[in-house]
Structure 1
Amino acid sequence: MATPTGTGTAPAPATLDDVLGSACRARAGAVAVRCGDDVLTYGDLHDRVRATAHHWASCGLTPHGTVGLLWENTSACVVAFLAAARLGACLIPLEPGTPRPRLAALRTEVAGPLFVAAHEARLRALDGDGEQDPFDACVPLPVDAADDAPAPRGRPEHGRQPGGGEPPAGASPDAPFLVQYTSGSTGEPKAAVHTQRNLVNGGDIYTRVYGITEDDRILTAVPLLHSFGMVAGLVTALRAGAQLVLLGRFTPARLLGALAEHACTVLVAAPMAYDLTTRTAAGSRCPSPPGALRLCLSSGAALPPAVAHRARARLGLDVQQVYGCTEAGVIAAQHPGDGAGADRGVGRPVPGVRVRIVDDRGQEVPEGEEGALLVRTPAMFTHYLGHPEATRRALHGGWYATGDVARLGPRGHLHLVGRKDSFINVGGKKVNPLEVEQVLLAHPSVAEAVVWGEETGETGQRVRATVVARAPLPATELTSHCRARLLPHQVPTAVDFVPVLPKNSMGKIRRAAVRGQAPRQAPDRTAGPARPGTPPG
């Protein structure tokens, strides 16, 4: 079997440009990125990255500058990401629809020149108010990766490279490179800073755990701007010399079509994508599993058992859950060799990752007992940008405090219990919201549920639930369902029915937004059917 590119006796790559160079030397004519009709070989990708880096350097972008990339799942955005890495500039991955006020806020958060790179249509959408750009230059991306580099907008005069020669690669493997905002699912997003070595190490982990090689075709159906898509999809494909297959914008039909047309061997997707896709497959005339597919990975949120069951039936494989976070990358992962069953938890800690389960005093607890999860990983962030106090709270002697409560099983599998800061204090008794959510989701009319603690104005909290229902559902029926299955202090004292829950582009519920949008008046007593969810971009 082929081995991942760059392994063996040669020194392991330390920067993303090293990874690309290694893959290009080994497989220049092989397909690197495929997005619809836009196909780049490793030789093409290598040349386009250098041409783009040269163009940006001539416009004034230096290792002291920052690129805010309005990142869509296209070949041109892959080129832009790697061009910033080659120059050694910092890169901030941003949602494609990021508005001008958010870009203006970035100007106050970063030092040095700020370039905004995006497809032309996105930049035109920013031009509506006629105000002066809050950044140093706007760089339109080519319509496809074979087009000439377009001229920048803005004020690109400073730092212009003399002459027409290619600027040297300015990347240091351990310098700040990626400024990645956390999901904000449990609170205000923070910007975690990663080095290029962090990302390369993360790609190495995936290639080793799942045996990714140059023979694989990795269909990435999650946004590359998020950690899971970026590392499990893009960086892992580059590290192995494999083919990265992109959908552009996700739809279930596109995913199913790409799996078959390109004989994809690995699928990287979020639970919402598996949910929508397997529902589509169930209604299709040809629901047979894709023949080449050998591995399905899921991350971003817990995979509901019902979705996992449907995926197994329609795709012919068990979906392997990956547990990680923006700050630490991949922490634990399920593996096909482990079999199925709930005792797998979220998988075993991956190679190179160490975990500790500790009590409130920082002492390790015995196997099987619950405690706070600390991790140490070669893919871990260095600090939060502009938040030194949050950095000090998160990092303890090289260990990252995840904020999760967990336990280790007898076979070394990691089991997540909940978020430490999300436990609800009801009269001195602690309520794990995940336990209550599982009971709510067991009701046949409940599609989604979030449980949270509402301050009572006295000394404690009360349990409150926000629910999306599949069919008309009286709150009294749901409360009775909970009373029969929970202790009295765990039963929600208020239920809010909503048509849809706020989510990020990975399909992860934004719990802080749920709490913030809860009505102040008495909650609804009866729900109507839910609206369809929004698929990830």
Structure 2
Amino acid sequence: MSTPTDPPRTLGTLVSDAAARWPERTAVEQEGHRLGFAELYLRVERAAARLAGAGLTRKSTAVLLFDNTVDCVIALLAVARTGARLVTAEPHSTPAQLTALADELGRLTLIGPAERLAALRGSGPWPGQAVEVGEVLHGDAPATSTPRPAAPAGPAGDEPFLYQFSSGSTGAPKAAVHTQDNLVRGAEIYRESYGYGPADTVVTAVPLLHSFGLVAGLVTSLLTGARLVVLGRFAPGRLLSQLARTGATVLVATPLAYDLLTRSGAAAPEASLSLRLCLSSGAALHPGTGQRFTERLGVEISEVYGCTEAGIIASQRAVSGSAPSAGGGGVGSPAPGVELRIVDDAGESVPPGSAGLLLVRTPAMFLGYLDRPEATAEVLREGWYATGDLARLDEDGRLHLIGRKDSFINVGGKKVNPVEVERVLLGHPLLTEAVVWGESLADGGQRVRATVVASGPLSTAELSRHCREHLQPHQVPGGVEFVDSLPKSSSGKTRRAEVAAAAARRTSGTIDQGGARS
């Protein structure tokens, strides 16, 4: 792993180095269409030159509107090569969402497929420019023997590059700013943690424009010479067929993707796969999902704990079928190069084994929040990032998460940890998902509410009995709403605020009514 004193690197450097070391090896593949590292380098250089010709500079801000495709890989690397800023947005962002981004960030350059840009143009005037993918990426495929074009002056690796919107530990969404060197250092952690190498084929079922997919998928593959397989739009059957066809050794996916895989009729126990490593991040992995996945596909899932601001923090190989722990499940040991501190409200370190606020310092630490100096100062404390998570370290140095400091529910002056209640709820065999939140009451207090997804008939009376066996009376949800699914981001993370807001708008049954969900 590089040291803090090493010169900062760029994604362009990774591409050119990979082209020199492994020119003929497949760099990226989609449904049998392959680009070698040398050809990828040429396509990125040419695309970067065309983007520069279209007016993209280091002062520009670009938004990519792609699913996981080869075009997305080329466009992302070409933007990085120009030195422009890159905003991560959902590929099917609405005009209103993009306009809100432009209001905050200024004039944006949209880059995407012609049909997607045409749909946006049809919705009204756009305060910026749009560049069709065909204008910069396509054309005659260059032969790998074609002389490389002279590289224009590239950006510095320590310049602001990636704007990733995150709620961080202070609530309101804001743009966390990363450099290209941050991404490379994050990839080094994955290489050292999991042994990525040229013999690996990495399949990513996570959007490349999200931190986990970008670093654990694309950047680590470029760094190590691994072959990256992208899927286009995610579908369980397509993913399973690609895992088998490509001989994939590494899968990068969300808990939602793993759950859908285990429920797919194609996921037979006798499926012949070459997987050695399955990484999961974005949300907590339900123990039942891990158990079913191992039973059907023959490999355990390794959970990764991290955040947008700091990158990968800790990881461990999950034990399939392990029961949820009422005290908080361990998320593993600190990743290579990562430092941890557990502190009290005064910022002083707590004794070993005690709970407190988790501070981290990682090689992939962000620069701060864009145009949010107060929010940045609140979370960056003398080089440490305050995650907002309450945690403890056990005697073996493993990290255990307890909950979010700002999410505890005040029930009659007693604090209820929603994560603890969710773990108990998910311990019921008929519950597959659960979100616990605090409902404000007229007297200024709160009551515990839960929104859950059941896999079969379940009465609220039975769920109440289950909760009362494992929780204190003030922790038991005073209201439960059964739904068919929970809203999620494209990375598979549950949109908790949307769950609470939607439940507040509807009439939900209380847990004492004794009703049933079929």
Q: TM-score, normalised by structure 1?
A: 0.88
* Counterpart residue type for residue 74 of structure 2: V
Quote how far apart the aligned CAs of 1:478 are.
Answer: 2.3
List aligned pairs for 1:380-419, cutoff 5 A: 380-419=365-404
- 2:494 corresponds to which of 493, 509, 519: 509
Matched, 1:147 2:132: no
Q: Is the 8 A contact 1:174 1:197 kept in 2?
A: yes
- Give the distance between the partners of 1:242 and 1:98, measured in 2 at CA: 31
Mapped partners of 1:440, 1:377: distance in 2: 34
Which residue of 326, 335, 342 maps to 1:357? 342
Alignment match, 1:128:
122
2:198 maps to which residue? 214
| C-alpha contact (below 8 Å) 1:54/1:166 kept by paired residues | no
Partners of 1:494 and 1:286 in 2: CA distance? 38
Q: Deviations over 1:396-445 (max 9, x none)?
A: 11111111111112111111111111111112211111111122222333
1:21 to partner: Cα distance: 0.8
Give the alignment of 1:31-110 within 5 angstroms: 31-110=26-105
Q: Deviations over 1:459-517 (max 9, x none)?
A: 43211111223334333332233223210110111122222211111221111111111
Superposition CA RMSD, Å: 2.6
In the alignment, structure 1 residue 304 sits paired with structure 2 residue 286: yes
Residue 451 of structure 1: aligned partner? 436
Query: Does residue 375 in structure 1 map to residue 375 in structure 2?
Result: no
Q: Is the CA contact 1:69–1:94 (under 8 Å) kept in the aligned structure 2?
A: yes
SS state at 1:519 partner:
helix
Quickly say closer, same or farther: Cα 1:21–1:488, change in 2 above 3 A.
Answer: same
Which residue does the alignment assign to 1:240?
224
The equivalent position to 1:440 in structure 2, one of 425, 438, 451, is: 425
Q: SS where residue 20 of structure 1 aligns?
A: helix
1:172–1:47 CA distance, 2 compared to 1 (3 A): same
Aligned to 1:118: 112
- Relative to structure 1, the CA distance from residue 441 to residue 519 in structure 2 (aligned partners, 3 Å threshold; closer, same or farther) is same
- For 1:127, give the aligned amino acid: R
Per the alignment, in what secondary structure is the counterpart of residue 237 of structure 1? helix
Distance in structure 2 (CA, Å) of the matches to 1:478 and 1:458 = 27
Match of 2:258 in 1: 274
1:185–1:510 contact (8 Å) kept in structure 2: no
CA distance in 2, matches of 1:508, 1:108: 26
Instruction: Tell me if structure 2 keeps the 8 A contact 1:63–1:170.
Output: no
* Preserved contact between residue 271 and residue 507 of structure 1 (Cα < 8 Å): yes
Offset at residue 132 of structure 1 (A): 2.1
Residue 327 of structure 1 aligns with which residue? 309
1:15 alignment counterpart: 10
Shift of 1:388: 2.1
Structure 2 counterparts to residues 160-199 of structure 1, below 5 A: 168-182=152-166, 187-199=171-183
User: 2:480 aligned to 487, 491, 495, which one?
Assistant: 495
Give the distance between the partners of 1:273 and 1:183, measured in 2 at CA.
Answer: 23
Residue equivalent to 1:26: 21
Shift of 1:189: 2.6
**Per the alignment, do residues 64 and 380 of structure 1 end up closer, same or farther by CA in structure 2, a change over 3 Å counting?**
same
**Structure 2 counterpart of 1:323, which letter?**
Y
Distance 1:400 1:454 in 2: 30
Contact 1:450 1:466 in 2 (8 A): yes
1:70-107 CA-partner distances (Å, limit 9, x unpaired): 13100111111111111111001211111112222222
Q: Which amino acid aligns with 1:97?
A: H
For residues 221 and 128 of structure 1, what CA distance do their matches in structure 2 show? Answer: 31
Q: How many Å separate the matches in 2 of 1:307 and 1:288?
A: 18
Query: Which stretch has the larger CA shift, 89-98 or 444-453?
Result: 444-453
Q: Match of 1:467, SS?
A: strand
Note closer, same or farther for the CA distance 1:186–1:386 as it changes in structure 2 (3 Å cut).
closer
Q: 1:225, CA displacement in angstroms?
A: 1.1
CA distance in 1, matches of 2:442, 2:102: 39
* Deviation at residue 322 of structure 1 after TM alignment: 0.5
Q: Deviations over 1:222-276 (max 9, x none)?
A: 1111111000000000000111011111111111111111111111111111111
Tell me if the contact between 1:34 and 1:245 (Cα under 8 Å) persists in the aligned partners: yes
Task: For 1:114 and 1:493, locate their aligned partners in 2 and report how far apart those are by CA, in whole Å.
Answer: 47
CA distance in structure 2 between the partners assigned to 1:273 and 1:446 by the alignment? 18
Runs of 4+ in 1 over 6 A off after TM superposition: 183-186, 338-344
Q: Structure 2-normalised TM-score?
A: 0.91
Instruction: Sort the Cα spacing of 1:73 and 1:144 in 2 relative to 1 into closer, same or farther, 3 A.
Output: farther
Change (3 A) 1:210 1:252: same
Check whether the contact 2:451–2:483 (CA below 8 A) recurs between aligned residues. yes
- Aligned pair in 2 of structure 1 residues 285, 339: CA closer, same or farther (>3 Å)? closer
How far, CA to CA, are the matches of 1:397 and 1:460 in structure 2? Answer: 36
1:466-485 → structure 2 map (5 Å cutoff): 466-485=451-470
Alpha carbons of 1:20 and 1:98: their partners in 2 closer, same or farther (altered >3 Å)?
same
Listed one character per residue, the Cα deviations across residues 166-185 of structure 1 (whole Å, up to 9, x for unaligned) are 67233111110000112789
Secondary structure at the residue paired with 1:518? helix
Distance 1:209 1:443 in 2: 34
Give structure 1 stretches of 5+ with no counterpart.
Answer: 150-164, 530-537
Amino acid at match of 2:401: L
Q: Is the 8 A contact 2:448 2:476 kept in 1?
A: yes
Note if contact 2:168-2:309 (Cα within 8 Å) is conserved in structure 1: no
What is the percent sequence identity of the aligned residues?
Answer: 53
